[in-house]
Structure 1
C-alpha cells in the first residue's frame, strides 16, 4: 500500500517501504509521463543518508530508464531542496527524492516534485497511487542493474555547486564576512553539513559542526530540529560562545535555531524575524503566507507594514501556490519549513539558515537582542504543540466526534469563529486560536494552540486533550 501525505510517501522499511513498492511507484510515474507527453523532459532524482536511500534511488532509476525516461541522478546524499532547485533549473517534468525527512530511523519514503520544483499536488499523488494499485509487479519494465550505469538515459551528477552558488548570489556576503560570526551547525546526522558549511565558510564565518557523522539511526533520536532534540546544539553554542546555532532535519528542508543566550527560537519566531528583516532590512514589499497552524504574529507584522497575511491549509504546496498567486515575500509553517520569493517554491533549510546569518551580520546586534526588539514592537504569542497517537478504532471515533459531529470542548473564552476547511480551527476573540487535525505524515492527531502566554496556550491544549481523552 502506497499512501501519500502532506510530506510525501513515508513507510516503515521492510513493511511497506520495499523494493517492489519503490519499483511500482517509479512505474506509475513513468506511465504518467508517457500519458502527459513529457518523457523527453526527464526526471531529477536525489537521496538522503537514510538506510537504503541510495539503493532505493537506483531501484527507481532502473524502472524509469526501462521506460525510456531520461534521469539525472545526483550521486551523493544532498538536501531535498537541491533536488527541487535542479528540477526548476533543468526544466524537468518531475523530481524524486528518497527520504523520510524527519521521521524516525525505521522509516524511509519518497517525495515527488512537479514542474518548477514544486511539491506535487495531492491530485497528482492521488492519481499516481490510484494507478499504481492497478499495476502487476511482474509487468514493471526495468533495466538490469548492470545496464543502468552505462545507459544513455542516465546522467550522473556529483556537483552541488550550482545550487550553493544560487544561494550565495542572493546573500550579502560582504556584510557577513565583516561581522566575524561564530556559528555551530547541527545537521542531525543528515545531509546539511557540506552545503551550509561551504556557504558560511565562504562568508568567513567561524563554523563548528556537531552530529555530522553518517548514522542511519540518527544518534537514537528523531532527526527533527525541535526544542527537545537540540540540547547538544544549545550546549555547544554556550560552550563556544557562538553567535547562533543552526540545526536542520534529516533532509535539510527544515531548521531550528539556538540564539546566543542558548534560547531555542521556534520556526514561528524565525519566520517572523525573517519576514520583518526582508521588509525593513532589505526593503522588500509584499504579503506573507502561512498555514493555519502557524503563528498569527505574522498577521501583526504584515498589518504594521500595510501588507496582508494569507492563511492556507497545511501542506507546503498550498503555501508555494499562494505565494505565486500573490507575489508574497515569504511563506512558511510552524513545523520549520519556509521559502523566500525568488528562490525555489518549496522548503529550504539551507537558504533559510544562511539568510538568518545575514540578518544577524547586517544588524550589528545579537540574535537575542533582535528578537527582543521584535517582541517590543509587536507583542508576543506563544504556541503549544501536542501530538497524540491512536488505535484504528479511536481514529474512527475521533473522526466522527470532531469532524462529523463537531463535538468541541467548552472553552472559557469567547469564540470568534470556527473553520472546518482543513481539520478544525477555532479562532478566539482575544487573538488566540487552536487547531485539531490528523497528521498527514504520521499516525497521530495534532493539537496546536497559540495564546499571549505559554500557560494560556497549554490550558487550551489540555482542554482539548481532556475532552477527547487523548494521551501523549
Structure 2
C-alpha cells in the first residue's frame, strides 16, 4: 500500500532528494494541482513555473509543466534559472491562476521542493495548500505533453518593475558624487540570485562585485542560508575592500543578509529595524507593520512610537501575506530574513531588500553604523539570540503540550510570566511564547521544515538572553524525557 509521505507545509513542499523528493512524487503533486484547477472551473487557467539551480530542478519544472499542459492548463515556463521573487512577480503580472517554483529555498543541497504562489504573487493560503494535499493520489496518470507550454524569459519584466520600486535617481546621484564610495560586495551563495543585484547597481553607476554568482547545484559546498556562519567569504571580502556594505541572498534569493563595512554580520533583527527606519524616515512611507512572532519586540515599539497599525502573526510568510492583502501595509518581516514592502509584492524578496539598503546609504549619506546608533538612541540596544536543538529523537508535539503548564525555574527566579501566546499552524500547536515584559521573552517552536526545536530569546542584556536560553534548553531536556 502507498504511504503518503508528501507533507505540504507553510510554503509548499520540501524533502530530501532521492527519498521523498523524487520524480514520482513530483508527478503526484503536479497531477494534484491539475485536479485542483479543474475543481476551480476557471474559464482561463494559466500557471507560471520557475526553477533554481539545484540538481534536477529544471527537469522537475519541465515535468510539472508537461503534466499541467496534458490537462489543458496553459503554462508559462521560465527559460532559465530565476529567483523565487521573479516567479512571484511574473505570476501577478500575467494574472496567472498560480505559480510553482521548484526550489528548496535556503535548505541544503540534499533537499529540493516546490513553492506555491497565488495569483497575487504571494504564498498560497493554508486552505488552498490543504486542497492540493487532498487531491494527492497513489495512482499516477502519466499524461504529459507540451501543447500548452510557452517558454519565456521572466527576468526583463521583473528588472523593469524594480526600477519603479527602488529610487534609482537617489542611487545614481550618490554614485556620481566623488565624495561617496558607492562600492558593494554581493554573495549570491551559488544560488538563483546570480549577478542580478550587481547588474542593477552597475547600471546606476555603482561599483559592485558578486561572489559565487554562478548557480551551482551544491552551492559551492555551503548551506545557502545567509546566516553568519555561512557567509564568511562575504565578511572577509567586505573587510579587505572599500565596500560600504555586503549583501547576501539565499538559495532562491527571497531572503537577504547584510554585512557592515568592517566585515561584521548585521543580525537579522538589526536588519529588520534598519529597514523599518529607512522606509519610515527616508522613504516617508506609511502603513501597517507586520511581523512574525519570533521577531524582536522593538519593531512593535517603533510602530507604536510612530502610531502605525501593528500585527504580530504566526510563523510562515503566508500569515504575513494574509494581513498584507487586507490592509495598507508598510512592510512585513520574518525572523529568517524575509522582507516584503508596500510598493512591490505581498511577498519577501532578497534582491529588493538588498537594493533598499543601498538606497538607505544613498538617501541618508550616513554609514550603516551611524544609522544603527540613531536607532539605538530611540529603542535601546538589542539583545537577541536563537539556538536550534536537534529533535530527531524528540516527540516535539508532546514537549509543546507539556509547555502549556510551564512556570519559570530558579534560572529565572525574579521573572514572572505576564503573557502567553500559543502559536498554531493549520490548527496544530507549533510553539509557545512567554513574555516577561517589553523586549523580554522566550519562544520555543518546532520547525516546519526540519527536525528541529528552535529556542528564541530577547532580553535587556546579554546575560538575560543567556539565562532565557538556558531556561529553554532545560525545559526541552526535562519535557523530552
Give TM-score scaled by structure 2 length.
Answer: 0.92
Whole-Å separation in 2 of the counterparts to 1:229 and 1:32: 39
1:417 corresponds to: 419
Q: Is the 8 A contact 2:109 2:219 kept in 1?
A: yes
1:395 corresponds to: 396
SS in 2 for 1:232: helix
Deviations 1:359-410 (A, max 9, x none): 11111111111111111122122221111122355335424423xx534542
1:142 corresponds to: 144
Q: CA deviation at 1:263?
A: 2.1
CA 1:399–1:374 in 2, change beyond 3 Å: closer, same or farther? closer
Asked if 1:53 is matched to 2:63, the reply is no
Q: Is the 8 A contact 1:65 1:142 kept in 2?
A: yes
SS in 2 for 1:112: strand
Whole-Å separation in 2 of the counterparts to 1:399 and 1:170: 42
Whole-Å separation in 2 of the counterparts to 1:54 and 1:305: 46
2:460 corresponds to: 452
2:362 corresponds to: 361
- For 2:112, which of 88, 108, 125 is the aligned residue? 108
Q: Is the 8 A contact 2:339 2:350 kept in 1?
A: yes
Asked if 1:19 is matched to 2:20, the reply is no
SS in 1 for 2:307: coil
Q: CA deviation at 1:349?
A: 0.5
Deviations 1:238-297 (A, max 9, x none): 111200000000000001000112221122222211212111112222220001111111
Asked if 1:175 is matched to 2:170, the reply is yes
Q: Is the 8 A contact 1:330 1:341 kept in 2?
A: yes
In structure 1, runs of 5+ residues without a counterpart are none
1:283 corresponds to: 284
Whole-Å separation in 1 of the counterparts to 2:166 and 2:209: 21
Whole-Å separation in 1 of the counterparts to 2:389 and 2:355: 34
CA 1:225–1:8 in 2, change beyond 3 Å: closer, same or farther? same
In structure 2, runs of 5+ residues without a counterpart are 176-181, 425-430
Q: CA deviation at 1:323?
A: 2.2
SS in 2 for 1:169: helix
- For 1:125, which of 124, 129, 152 is the aligned residue? 129
Q: Is the 8 A contact 2:195 2:210 kept in 1?
A: no
Q: Is the 8 A contact 1:267 1:337 kept in 2?
A: no
- For 2:471, which of 447, 459, 463 is the aligned residue? 463
Deviations 1:56-106 (A, max 9, x none): 111111111111110001111111011111111111101000000010110
Deviations 1:164-193 (A, max 9, x none): 111112222122123231000000000112
CA 1:387–1:393 in 2, change beyond 3 Å: closer, same or farther? closer
SS in 2 for 1:4: coil
Whole-Å separation in 2 of the counterparts to 1:207 and 1:259: 15
Whole-Å separation in 1 of the counterparts to 2:301 and 2:436: 16
Asked if 1:436 is matched to 2:444, the reply is yes
Whole-Å separation in 1 of the counterparts to 2:38 and 2:280: 44
Whole-Å separation in 2 of the counterparts to 1:302 and 1:67: 48
1:325 corresponds to: 326
Task: Give the total of aligned pairs.
Answer: 460
- Alignment RMSD (CA, Å): 1.7
Q: Is the 8 A contact 2:11 2:318 kept in 1?
A: no
Q: Is the 8 A contact 2:52 2:192 kept in 1?
A: yes
Q: Is the 8 A contact 1:268 1:333 kept in 2?
A: no
SS in 1 for 2:129: helix
2:405 corresponds to: 406
